[in-house]
């Protein structure tokens, strides 16, 4: 089955500046895909091309089998697009706002009424149905905007910075909404600069820099791909010298440093530089326990998404 979003050699220039540079990406149906990159990397331009609001200079993109270049109407029928900032109509109540967009999609009045009620319940805004749209908080407006993207029951949601400008509680609530939409079978493709949002909910991540994808995968895959040397921390109660000698002789171990931990019953912490795989790491622990060395702590440093992002986008900061 082909990916629900497929981008092939996509390019976009503004005069002499290249915003998107032969970008390639595939997103499977049902994913929550985080599109991450520094300011000016090409995130918004890519999303606008996918939403058929911009024409690419080269390449192609398909959404649910529809070409954004050759079949924009087909694309618009299967996507719900929310820009980073969207128009708020004055003198319009919350339910009227959704009803208006339902009418734009030629939904019948009775169908619109049921749908508006369902969407307000989904985004937890039923108590605010009669409030004026322009009086809502930023967080409530984002919820309403998300409900608007769902008015025609799209397969794919394309969201540009959906949590931008929100307080921490509102960000958590938006994340929970996106997870719920994925459970309902929607594919969620969203850009963000808030790395915590990506780490919390995304099935996969794509990192873009200077208009090109520099890495894609799950957080674990990105961590493994960047880790040229692993750092393992082991604390033992005694027999530290024996443990150090055993570890130093293992394949893949580049060095072992010992540090006495103060106020911890004279524990010794061993810091191991290691290039082996997970099976070798497991064998390391098994070898220590087989020798009855009293281990009280065994862990490995792991990179978070911020570490990965800083490594992959380093050139843009130089």
For 217-249, the pLDDT digits (tens) are 888 777 766 655 678 999 998 899 999 999 999
Asked which of 39-43, 170-174, 182-186, 228-232 is least confident by mean pLDDT, the reply is: 228-232
Domain with CATH 3.40.50.300 in the chain: 5-224
Contact 105, 151 (CB under 8 A): yes
**pLDDT (tens digit per residue) in 44-56:** 999 999 999 999 9
What's the CA angle centered on 140, arms 115 and 147, to 5 degrees? Answer: 25
CATH homologous superfamily of domain 5-224?
A: P-loop containing nucleotide triphosphate hydrolases (3.40.50.300)
Alpha helix stretches (DSSP H) within 105-190: 109-122, 138-149, 168-183
What whole-number distance in Å separates Cα of residue 137 and Cα of residue 198? 24
E-only strand ranges, the chain = 5-14, 17-27, 32-36, 58-63, 66-67, 79-82, 156-160, 187-192, 204-209, 212-217, 230-236, 253-260, 268-274, 295-300
**What are phi and psi for residue 111, nearest 5 degrees?**
-65, -40
The 3-state DSSP class for residue 173 equals helix
Tell me what the pLDDT averaged over the chain comes to.
89
Exposure string for 164-183, b = 16+ CB within 10 A, e = fewer:
bebeeebbebbbebbeebbe
Q: What is the pTM of this model?
A: 0.76
Q: Which fold does the domain 229-302 belong to in CATH?
A: Alpha-Beta Plaits (3.30.70)
Cβ neighbours of residue 185 closer than 8 Å, sequence gap 6 or more: 30, 155
More confident residue, 195 or 61: 61
pLDDT above 50 for 118: yes
Domain with CATH 3.30.70.260 in the chain: 229-302
Burial class (CB in 10 A: 0-12, 13-18, 19+), 49: buried
Burial class (CB in 10 A: 0-12, 13-18, 19+), 245: exposed
pLDDT above 80 for 209: yes
């Amino acid at each position: 089955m082909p990916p629900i979003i497929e981008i092939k050699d996509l390019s976009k220039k503004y005069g002499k500046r290249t915003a998107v540079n032969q970008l390639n990406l595939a997103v499977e149906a049902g994913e929550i895909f985080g599109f991450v990159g520094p300011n000016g990397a090409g995130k918004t331009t890519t999303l606008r091309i996918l939403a058929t609001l911009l024409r690419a200079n080269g390449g192609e993109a398909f959404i649910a089998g529809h070409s954004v270049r050759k079949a924009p109407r087909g694309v618009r029928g299967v996507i719900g697009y929310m820009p980073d900032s969207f128009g708020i109509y004055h003198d319009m109540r919350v339910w009227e706002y959704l009803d208006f967009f339902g009418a734009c999609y030629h939904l019948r009045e009775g169908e619109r009424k049921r749908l508006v009620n369902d969407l307000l319940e989904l985004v937890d805004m039923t108590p605010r149905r009669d409030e004026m749209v322009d009086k809502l908080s930023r967080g409530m407006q984002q919820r309403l905007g998300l409900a608007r993207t769902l008015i025609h029951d799209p397969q794919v949601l394309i969201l540009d910075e959906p949590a931008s400008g929100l307080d921490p509680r509102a960000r958590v609530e938006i994340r929970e909404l996106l997870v719920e939409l994925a459970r309902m079978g929607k594919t969620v493709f969203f850009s963000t600069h808030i790395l915590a949002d990506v780490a919390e909910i995304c099935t996969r991540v794509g990192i873009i820099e200077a208009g090109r994808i520099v890495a894609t995968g799950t957080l674990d895959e990105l961590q493994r791909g960047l880790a040229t040397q692993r750092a393992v921390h082991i604390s033992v109660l005694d027999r530290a010298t024996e443990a150090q000698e055993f570890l130093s002789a293992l394949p893949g171990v580049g060095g072992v440093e010992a540090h006495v931990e103060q106020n911890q019953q004279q524990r010794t912490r061993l810091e191991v530089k290691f290039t082996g795989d997970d099976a070798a790491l497991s064998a390391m622990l098994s070898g220590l326990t087989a020798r009855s060395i009293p281990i009280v702590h065994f862990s490995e440093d792991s990179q978070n998404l911020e570490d990965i992002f800083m490594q992959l986008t380093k050139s843009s900061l130089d």
